Amino acid sequence: MKYKYILFDLDGTLTDPGVGITKAVQYALKKNNIVEESLSTLEKFIGPPLKESFAEFYSFNEKMVSDSIQYFREYFRKNGIFENEIYSGILDLLGELRNRDCKVVVATSKPTVFANTVLKNFGMMKYFDLVVGSNLDGTLGNKSEIINCVIDNLKIKNLEETIMIGDRKYDIIGAEKNNIDSIGVLYGYGSLEELVGARPTYIVDSISQLYGLLT
């Protein structure tokens, strides 16, 4: 295997957070007097930064975006963070990567404090050398910045040994901007069209394919 540094997105890649995130968005929208009954229509919020999503999908101004993020977190920290599940096969993959002495990292747009809570809740912290997410004040929210932070923290010299794995175009674009390879996974929330358009190094349909590619 050519990759020593393996960076994983969290939502839609390691775990399926669909229920928790969409319910938190639904709650935030209701606070803005917007009723959205269908959770499936809110799955587009899974992956990209909330700030971008509320502005893009509902044309919220800056204050409405800020307020909505706080409403989202109000629900998420109490309930949504636990409405989540690990994708089948992920723990086997992480264990094998650790056995091979890879440096395994979570690189997520989710606030680091929430990412740590999710990983601890599932007993997954032992698999990772580093967890890098965004800050609650909105800084370090771009996936490119997060990946760059990982590279700096681990003092990675050979970028050819580094790969980013994620289910959305933001993961792939962030990898490209940092001159590292990437894998787009189709079992998450990004479509084939979205991932192909972002031009990852590889695309896989399943965790078993991901396992085969990395090991």
Q: Which residues are catalytic?
A: 9
b/e code 72-90 from CB counts within 10 Å (16+ = b):
bbebbeeebbebbeebeeb
- On the 0-12 / 13-18 / 19+ scale of CB atoms within 10 A, 123 is exposed
> What is the largest distance, in Å, between two alpha-carbon atoms of the chain?
52
Taking the C-alpha atoms of residue 165 and residue 149, their distance in angstroms, rounded to an integer, is 16
- Rounded (to 5) percent helix, strand, coil in the chain: 50, 15, 30
The H or E element that residue 134 is part of is strand 130-134
- CA angle, corner 134, sides to 110 and 12, nearest 5? 25
Going by C-alpha positions, the residue among 30, 25, 83 that lies closest to residue 57 is 25
The H or E element that residue 19 is part of is helix 18-31
The 10 Å Cβ neighbour count of residue 137 is 8
The 10 Å Cβ neighbour count of residue 205 is 11
